[in-house]
């Protein structure tokens, strides 16, 4: 069974500073990994996904994430935070052992706060 752990339920950074949101996964088989963002009172939007093509994945809005098998991690980064990045971020895993319709297993989310 797969699972995802997001370290830090809340992360606060200054505008212009580096954003680092941590995600570690547990899976019996090599996983597919996703980062989704949820703005207040909205649905989830895909930021980026790892599908084994490349370990460094670039997404929308300047975000990127690196898959590190040795560390079982898929941390999300952005070099310079913007006020509009304030949102809830979810890491999710899709286990290859089941069918795609198994759905995603989500982490508990990290609330990103941007200080002016």
72 backbone dihedrals φ, ψ, rounded to 5° = 45, 50
Beta carbons within 8 Å of 104's beta carbon, 6+ residues apart:
34, 92, 93, 94
Name which of 14 and 108 has its Cβ closer to other proteins: 108
Name which of 14 and 45 has its Cβ closer to other proteins: 45
Name which of 17 and 72 has its Cβ closer to other proteins: 72
CB of 80 to other proteins, least distance (A): 26
CB of 65 to other proteins, least distance (A): 15
Beta carbons within 8 Å of 98's beta carbon, 6+ residues apart:
none
Q: What is the contact surface with other proteins in residues (CB under 8 A)?
A: 32, 34, 36, 38, 41-46, 49, 51, 88, 90, 94-96, 99-106, 108-109, 111
Beta carbons within 8 Å of 16's beta carbon, 6+ residues apart:
80, 81
């Amino acid at each position: 069974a797969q699972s995802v752990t997001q370290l830090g339920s809340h992360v606060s950074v200054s505008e212009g500073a580096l954003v680092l949101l941590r995600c570690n996964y547990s899976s019996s088989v090599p996983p597919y990994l996703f980062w989704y963002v949820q703005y207040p009172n909205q649905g989830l939007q895909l930021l980026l996904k790892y599908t084994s093509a490349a370990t460094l994945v670039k997404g929308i809005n300047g975000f990127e994430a690196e898959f590190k098998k040795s560390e079982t991690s898929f941390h999300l980064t952005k070099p310079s935070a913007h006020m509009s990045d304030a949102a809830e971020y979810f890491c999710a895993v899709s286990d290859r052992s089941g069918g795609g319709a198994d759905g995603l297993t989500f982490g508990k989310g990290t609330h990103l706060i941007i200080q002016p």
